């Protein structure tokens, strides 16, 4: 249990930076240290982010705390300028991002209940508290992309960047590997789907006969968060929920209950409560079909047949990954796991531990047998891994590490452009900084 909540704090740091320190320590220092138009930076925000930077061993130029403060002010400045330039992020996008981040944490820690019991706070309360922070992050990221969208580096710039690194500062890279995957989501058999639908039809009959939707949702729904609210989703805009769910909802009249509706999450009974323009309010009961042993065997046979195509030399693993993998992110890279720069050569300490321990038992050039795992959104799936290559530890060079140095050069160029933008834009908005941080020289 202790290790699970160490993992929870670690994941909070990754997915909700700036808030994890408050959640883990309960210490909040209430003092505004900077105002950027209508946006503020709190001392607690600076201190928690500063501690996070130190714990990760990150290097920031100059005075680290001043560099952290500048980054925080820059993010608020990006949001303020986005507001001036009418660059917006819809609430539906924020909710999707919150759901995605929280689902990853829940899947890693174990369950919603464990988190809620430990902190005496519901997942909904977490999301409500974090909504404004996440929205500001998304707006700042969108504004940053606008500023940097056309920035690139040429091969000549990469070589120049590399040649200007002092010889004693060229990084030493640990072991790197190239690993590709083909993922197949386990397809639930028709018999299991039929069981789920029949269960929902039985529940629907009870609803039609007058039983309480709230009670039946609380007792039966496998969407545990909405079940606590009697199945209520609340008002959402178009595009916020699954297309099949939205289409079925908008065909209903208020108070009407749908027949079972299938989405990637399972089968739903939906009741439309109210429509307001492009917004609609529903409640639902979700039943997820159980995966049978036969479904797993069928999925493994499908992956074995794909593996045989590669072994028989009729196609490449990368080509099959692009065509057949159900992991849409890695499939676009030929199935390869990539680092932050998009490079296929990954440092082994950046690999998912499960992947690392799997390839540690494999020979370079081999393909693993099908293995069951859970995707980030909780979906049960199978995958095979192709261990393409291994590069031993070495001093960085352009031949083996071009992509990494290209990323370093691009980041350096983007940083210069963003710094110039900061110096120009800070004159266009109202910025104040607490006297305690005058030495940082960030004010107008």
Q: How many CB atoms lie within 10 A of CB 363?
A: 8
- Residue 61: its pLDDT value, please? 65
- Whether 15 and 125 map to the same domain: the answer is yes
In a domain, residue 214? The reply is: yes
Look at the block and give the residue holding tokens 């108070």.
255
Q: How many CB atoms lie within 10 A of CB 399?
A: 5
Split at pLDDT 50, 70, 90, the class of 81 is very high
In a domain, residue 47? The reply is: yes
- Whether 67 and 107 map to the same domain: the answer is yes
- Whether 106 and 221 map to the same domain: the answer is no
- Residue 343: its pLDDT value, please? 84
In a domain, residue 163? The reply is: no
- Whether 9 and 27 map to the same domain: the answer is yes
Q: Residues 162-218: pLDDT tens digits?
A: 999 999 999 999 999 999 999 999 999 999 999 999 999 999 999 999 999 999 999
For the chain, state the CA radius of gyration.
25
Separation in Å, CA 228 to CA 144, 225, 267, 378: 38, 6, 18, 20
Question: Pairing mode, if any, of strands 261-263 and 232-237?
Answer: unpaired
In a domain, residue 243? The reply is: yes
Task: Tell me the residue range of the domain where 27 lies.
Answer: 2-154+403-440
- Whether 147 and 28 map to the same domain: the answer is yes
Split at pLDDT 50, 70, 90, the class of 62 is low
* Residues of the chain by 3-state class (helix, strand, coil), percent to 5: 55, 15, 30
Q: Residues 355-398: pLDDT tens digits?
A: 999 999 999 999 999 999 988 777 899 999 999 999 999 999 99
- Whether 137 and 219 map to the same domain: the answer is no
In a domain, residue 9? The reply is: yes
Q: E strands along 172-231, which residues?
A: 172-173, 176-185
Rounded CA separation 265/92 (Å): 18
Average pLDDT (300-317) is 92
Q: What CATH number corresponds to the domain at position 390?
A: 3.10.50.40
Separation in Å, CA 64 to CA 45, 395, 410: 15, 27, 22
- Whether 30 and 150 map to the same domain: the answer is yes
- Whether 183 and 194 map to the same domain: the answer is no
Question: Pairing mode, if any, of strands 380-391 and 431-433?
Answer: unpaired
- Whether 383 and 414 map to the same domain: the answer is no
- Whether 182 and 194 map to the same domain: the answer is no
DSSP notation for 58-92: ---SSSHHHHHHHHHHHHHHHHHHHHHTT----HH
pTM: 0.65
**Which region among 13-17, 90-94, 326-330 has the lowest average model confidence (pLDDT)?**
13-17
* Residue 298 pLDDT > 60: yes
- Among 287, 318, 338, give the residue marking a domain's end: 287
- Whether 183 and 330 map to the same domain: the answer is yes
Split at pLDDT 50, 70, 90, the class of 1 is very low
Beta-carbon-side half-sphere exposure of residue 221 (alpha carbons within 13 Å)? 26
DSSP bridge partners of 53: none
Here the tokens at position 207 are: 């609803």
User: How many distinct structural domains can be found in the chain?
Assistant: 3
In a domain, residue 167? The reply is: no
In a domain, residue 162? The reply is: no
DSSP notation for 119-178: HT--HHHHHHHHHHHHHHHHHHHHHHHHHHTT----HHHHHHHHHTS-GGGSPEE--EEE
- Residue 248: its pLDDT value, please? 95
- Whether 176 and 297 map to the same domain: the answer is yes
In a domain, residue 159? The reply is: no
Q: What CATH number corresponds to the domain at position 82?
A: 1.10.4030
Q: Which residues contact 393 (CB under 8 A, 6 or more apart)?
A: 172, 173, 174, 175
* Residue 438 pLDDT > 60: yes
Helix ranges (H only) for 221-267 are: 224-227, 243-251
Beta-carbon-side half-sphere exposure of residue 11 (alpha carbons within 13 Å)? 19
């Amino acid at each position: 249990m202790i290790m699970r909540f160490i993992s929870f704090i670690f994941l909070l740091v990754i997915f909700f930076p700036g808030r994890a320190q408050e959640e883990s320590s309960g210490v909040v220092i209430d003092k505004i240290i900077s105002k950027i138009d209508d946006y503020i930076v709190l001392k607690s925000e600076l201190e928690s982010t500063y501690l996070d930077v130190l714990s990760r061993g990150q290097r920031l130029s100059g005075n680290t705390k001043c560099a952290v403060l500048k980054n925080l002010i820059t993010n608020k400045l990006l949001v303020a300028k986005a507001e001036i330039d009418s660059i917006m992020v819809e609430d539906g996008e924020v909710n999707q991002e919150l759901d995605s981040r929280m689902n990853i944490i829940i899947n890693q820690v174990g369950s919603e209940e464990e988190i809620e019991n430990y902190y005496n706070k519901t997942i909904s309360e977490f999301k409500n508290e974090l909504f404004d922070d996440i929205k500001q992050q998304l707006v700042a990221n969108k504004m940053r992309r606008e500023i940097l969208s056309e920035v690139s580096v040429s091969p000549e710039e990469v070589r120049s960047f590399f040649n200007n690194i002092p010889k004693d500062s060229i990084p030493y890279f640990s072991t790197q590997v190239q690993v590709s995957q083909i993922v197949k989501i386990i397809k639930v058999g028709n018999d299991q789907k039929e069981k789920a639908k029949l269960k929902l039809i039985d529940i629907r009959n009870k609803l039609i006969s007058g039983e309480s939707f709230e009670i039946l949702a609380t007792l039966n729904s496998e969407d545990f968060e909405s079940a606590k609210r009697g199945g209520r989703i609340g008002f959402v805009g178009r595009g916020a929920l699954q297309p099949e769910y939205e289409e079925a909802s908008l065909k209903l009249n208020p108070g009407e209950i749908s027949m079972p509706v299938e989405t990637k999450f399972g089968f739903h009974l939906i009741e439309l409560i109210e429509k307001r323009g492009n917004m609609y309010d529903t409640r639902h009961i979700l039943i997820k079909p159980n995966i049978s042993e036969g479904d797993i065997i069928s999925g493994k046979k499908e992956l074995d047949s794909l593996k045989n195509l590669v072994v028989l030399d009729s196609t490449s693993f990368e080509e099959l990954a692009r065509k057949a993998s159900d992991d849409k992110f890695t499939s676009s890279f030929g199935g390869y796991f990539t680092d932050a720069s998009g490079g296929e050569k990954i440092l082994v300490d950046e690999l998912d531990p499960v992947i690392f321990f799997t390839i540690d038992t494999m020979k370079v050039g081999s393909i693993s047998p099908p293995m069951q795992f859970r995707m980030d959104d909780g979906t049960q799936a199978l995958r095979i891994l192709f261990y393409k290559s291994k590069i031993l530890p070495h001093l960085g060079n352009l031949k083996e590490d071009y992509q990494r140095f290209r990323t370093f050069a691009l980041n350096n160029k983007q940083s210069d452009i963003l710094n110039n933008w900061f110096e120009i834009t800070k004159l266009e908005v109202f910025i104040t900084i607490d006297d305690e941080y005058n030495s940082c020289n960030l004010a107008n």
